[in-house]
Homo-oligomer: A and B are copies of this chain.
Amino acid sequence: MATNATKPQSRAKGLETAGRVRKAALKRFAGAGYAAVSMREIATDVGVRPGALYNHFPTKQDILKDLMLSHMTDLLRAWDAAVFAQDTDPLECFVRFHIRYHLERADEVFISYMELRNLEPENFAVIEAERRRYEAILTDILEKGAASGRYAVEDARVATRAIIAMLTGIPTWYREGGHLSEQQIEDLYLNMVRKAVAPIAINSQRETG
């Protein structure tokens, strides 16, 4: 870009290195877990000596925090930016969005759920707040739907957790090229979610017996 042309090359190189650090750390953390990954490994992936990492991130913990926080903000921003046909069911929007976004970012999703405990308390609080904001989106949809009679959920917070757990589990087993396309996955899960919150009565075994 023209705006970059006048910047010293080292700045640009540094930004690029920071990006490579993020990328390498993401892959490693997702694969082996934060605690099992060493700064040396990340440095090797980046093609740099360990000491150089500290020009870009003050500590290893900061790399983790950076990855998790930017995942959450990207996620929320992506939801805000997502556009659906005007008359689409909000629940359908959310389910399809969640599945798509998470399937495309398996590594980020994975560390966001697995490495929470490796965040120092301060960082944990920040991430958790973002996560609650995201969950609130679904809770809100469910509550509004329940109020309108479209959905039947006894406890929207519990239903939110149930649905998100169900959806977020997909990337742990879904593989591209498997016997189901991403579209089919979306449809299958959407159907299950809809039924799960649908205002229908299920007769228990005892009652039918």
**A interface, CB within 8 angstroms of B:** 31-33, 35-36, 87-89, 92, 114, 117-118, 154-155, 158-159, 161-166, 168-170, 172-173, 180, 185, 188-189, 191-198, 200, 202, 204-206, 209
Contacts and interface: CB of A to CB of B under 8 A. Distances in A.
Contacts of A200: 195, 198, 200
B188 A155 contact: yes
A117 B166 contact: no
Contact of A196 (B89, B165, B195): B195
A205 B190 CA distance: 12
Contacts of A194: 202
Nearest to A164: B169
This chain: copies in complex: 4
A63 B168 CA distance: 29
B204 A195 contact: no
A74 to B, nearest CB: 23
Given A92-B205, A158-B180, 7 more contacts: A87-B206, A154-B188, A158-B189, A162-B166, A165-B168, A191-B202, A200-B200
A52 to B, nearest CB: 14
A200 B180 CA distance: 23
Contact of A155 (B32, B161, B170, B180): B180
